Amino acid sequence: MANPEKGYHYSTSVPTNMMSFKDGNGVIHQIHIPAGRADEALTYFKSEEWNELVAKFPKWENQPYTDEFYIITKWKVDALDDDEGVIVKKAGDPLVLNEQGEVVLSEINEE
């Protein structure tokens, strides 16, 4: 990213795109978690809804990460140790580039 705002730092994180689990019958499954759906998969996992995980998520076949997986957070340089980061791209959102090929970011209002 070119020309970041002075006084800010950007961090990038990526949620997992694969989950392995053993269902109630002892069968091991591996599923692919598409961008933006990690929380949904975790909810089914925590509530042991194995059939939902198998039905609603594709089988794991070494699917690669895509730009949509990346989460970009903007931090004030003097607040890096605080929880004051502002998400400027969340998982599931496309990575937008301007004419110069630079990443375009905008603050996201979390509900």
Q: Do residues 42 and 69 share a domain?
A: no
Q: Do residues 50 and 87 share a domain?
A: no
Q: Do residues 110 and 74 share a domain?
A: yes
What length does the chain have? 111
- Domain extent, residue 39, equals 18-56
* pLDDT average, residue stretch 4-30: 86
- For the chain, the domain total comes to 2
Q: Do residues 48 and 25 share a domain?
A: yes
When mean pLDDT is compared across 11-20, 32-41, 54-63, 74-83, the lowest value belongs to 74-83
Q: Do residues 10 and 25 share a domain?
A: no
Rounded to whole angstroms, the Cα distance separating 90 from 96 reads 12
**Model confidence pTM above 0.75:** no
Q: Do residues 74 and 45 share a domain?
A: no
Rounded to whole angstroms, the Cα distance separating 46 from 38 reads 12
Q: Do residues 76 and 90 share a domain?
A: yes
72 — pLDDT class (breaks 50, 70, 90): confident
